[in-house]
């Protein structure tokens, strides 16, 4: 990832302009990799993760690149209350607090799936369906409902 991703970002910026901001997203381990990608390559402006692994690869990226690429970065972590990685996230949250800038990290916990178990509540399919229903995502919005919720949280 550390070698190929910066070249990919450079190619996207070459094709679409240097001002383009890239968003990465992932579920579970893919959420950790989406965050690591943002730490490893400049040009990634935001990350959305769903029931993400608490392993982000933060320390796998050298400090100079990590700090430079974190400037202006916004990470939104969404997770279901009862899913299986919650028990790993909680003790780590006591050691590593969320940062308010560079990167700006928000965690949004939902309790949308009732009657499941910690494995079924980790499912991206069920979580995505409930998120879409709960947030009334509309295809024609220029800004998603989720972005509006996060912006509102940030302002308060």
pLDDT digits (tens, 9 = 90+) for 126-139: 888 877 877 765 55
**Helices (H), ranges, 17-123:** 29-40, 63-70, 86-95
pLDDT at 114: 74
Q: What tokens were used for 62?
A: 């050298």
Give ∠ CA 93-122-57 in degrees, rounded to 5: 45
* Domain span including residue 32: 4-155
Work out how many domains the chain is built from and give that number.
1
Please answer whether residues 81 and 109 qualify as being in contact, where contact means their C-beta atoms are separated by less than 8 angstroms: yes
| Neighbouring-strand partners of residue 109 | 79
The model's confidence at residue 154, banded by pLDDT at 50, 70 and 90, is very low
Is the pLDDT assigned to residue 141 strictly greater than 80? no
CA distance 33 to 151: 24
Is the pLDDT assigned to residue 152 strictly greater than 50? no
CA distance 47 to 85: 19
Q: Nearest CA to 146 among 134, 133, 135?
A: 135
pTM, rounded to two decimals: 0.80
Query: Which position has the higher pLDDT, 11 or 146?
Result: 11
pLDDT at 110: 86
The model's confidence at residue 15, banded by pLDDT at 50, 70 and 90, is very high
Q: Which residue's entry shows tokens 């009657």?
A: 115
Q: What tokens were used for 106?
A: 């928000």
- Cα–chain center distance at 48: 3
Terminal-residue alpha carbon distance, the chain: 36
């Amino acid at each position: 990832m550390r070698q190929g991703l910066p070249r990919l970002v450079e190619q996207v910026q070459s094709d679409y302009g240097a001002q383009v901001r890239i968003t990465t997203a992932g579920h579970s381990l893919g959420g950790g990799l989406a965050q690591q990608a943002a730490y490893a390559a400049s040009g990634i402006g935001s990350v959305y993760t769903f029931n993400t692994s608490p392993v982000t690869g933060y320390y796998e990226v050298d400090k100079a690149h990590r700090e430079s690429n974190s400037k202006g970065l916004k990470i939104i972590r969404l997770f279901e209350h009862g899913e299986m990685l919650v028990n790993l996230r909680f003790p780590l949250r006591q050691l590593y607090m969320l940062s308010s800038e560079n990167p700006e990290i928000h965690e949004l916990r939902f309790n949308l799936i009732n009657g499941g178990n910690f494995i079924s509540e980790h499912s991206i399919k069920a979580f995505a369906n409930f998120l879409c229903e709960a947030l009334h995502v509309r295809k024609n919005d220029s800004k998603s409902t989720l972005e509006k919720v996060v912006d509102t949280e940030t302002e308060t």
